[in-house]
Amino acid sequence: MRTVVYQHPQALENISTHYCPGCTHGIAHRLIAEVIDELGIQEQTILVAPVGCAVFAYDYFTVDGVEAAHGRAPAMATGIKRSLPDRIVFTYQGDGDLAAIGTAEIIHAAARGENITTIFINNAIYGMTGGQMAPTSLPDQRTTSSPFGRNPAIAGNPIRMTELIAAIEGSAYVVRRSLHNVREIRKAKKAIKTAFRVQQAGLGFAMVELLSACPTNWGLSAPDALKWVEEHMVPYYPLGDYKVLDAVKALEDRE
């Protein structure tokens, strides 16, 4: 008898990505694709891609996809979902995209309780444009635009988007997970699945933040970057469930 231990997800193209070695965008893509396969929603899913390193995400998923201008993904997803309510619509956004130029879009999509799913990749830096400080960069974090470390007195404090969105009345499911080890990756997949199921059940806005690594712009090896996530990001951005409506809990209980 043959036991299948590895299979390429159908919802992901079987090609190499342009991401740097050790970048966790690839892990996030794989988890989303596995969830799409398991839920059997490949034909009805539409991805709204961001700017940033994931700008070509639509090249990797074998689902329909569109590209939004910087930060506008939740607005575009809103329009698509309202005109095609039978589709499963998700945005995939970095912290520069979601927490800088797109702050207004994500807050108002949550406030309206849009029935869309957002996967928020927080790597504490602008990856694509050369490693500048992002709203999520940690105090004292060195970036190309804060070479002496982020000084909150000058640059302001990092924004904890998950806590912010969870406080908004329209959101239904808002959680933070991490991709720095296998145990956390498994938890992340479960949360992504719940976030898609929330949309299937019509329960409203769902967001999963994933603490992620950018070894290239952090100037670290791939293993050290994962350690940096665990040792520096997790304490500042605690993992956990920040908003789970009772109706969502009922969904999880049925699983």
Ligand X SMILES: Cc1ncc(C[n+]2csc(CCOP(=O)(O)OP(=O)(O)O)c2C)c(N)n1
Binding residues for ligand SF4, rule: CB under 6 A, are 19-20, 23, 25, 53, 123, 127-128, 214-217
Q: Is the distance from CB of 102 to CB of 71 less than 8 angstroms? A: yes
Could you tell me the smallest distance in angstroms from the CB atom of residue 112 to ligand SF4? 30
Q: Distance between CA 82 and CA 73 in Å, rounded? A: 14
Q: Toward ligand SF4, which CB reaches closer, 90 or 218?
A: 218
CA dist., res. 14 & res. 75, Å (int)? 30
Which of the listed partners (ligand SF4, ligand X, none) does 65 bind, with a CB threshold of 5 to 8 Å by partner kind? none
Contact flag: residue 53 with ligand X (CB under 6 A)? yes
Q: Nearest CA to 158 among 172, 170, 141? A: 141
**Contact residues for 196 (Cβ-Cβ < 8 A; gap 6+):** 35, 36, 39, 41, 88, 90, 117, 206
Question: What track of x and - describes contact with ligand X for positions 68 through 87 (by CB under 6 A)?
Answer: -xx-----------------
DSSP string, 103-151: HHHHHHHHHTT-S-EEEEEE-SS-TTTTS---TTPPTT--BTTBTT---
For ligand X, the binding residue among 11, 12, 48, 54 (CB under 6 A) is 54
Candidate ranges 51-59, 137-145, 219-227, 229-237; the one touching ligand X (CB under 6 A): 51-59
Indicate the angle between helix axes 25-39 and 182-200, nearest 10 degrees: 50
Structure-derived torsion over alpha carbons of residues 165, 108, 158, 210, reported in degrees to the nearest 10: 50
Nearer to ligand X, 106 or 239 (CB): 106
| Contact mark string toward ligand X, 110..149, x via CB under 6 A | -----------x-x-xxxxx----x---------------
Judged by CB under 6 A, does residue 105 bind ligand X? no
Query: Considering CB distances under 5 to 8 angstroms, the limit depending on partner class, which of ligand SF4, ligand X, none binds residue 135?
Result: none
For residue 128, the minimal CB distance to ligand X (Å) is 4
Pick what 54 binds: ligand X, ligand SF4, none; C-beta below 5 to 8 Å, kind-dependent.
ligand X
H or E element in which residue 9 lies: none
The footprint of ligand X (CB under 6 A) covers 50-54, 69-70, 94-97, 101, 121, 123, 125-129, 134, 214
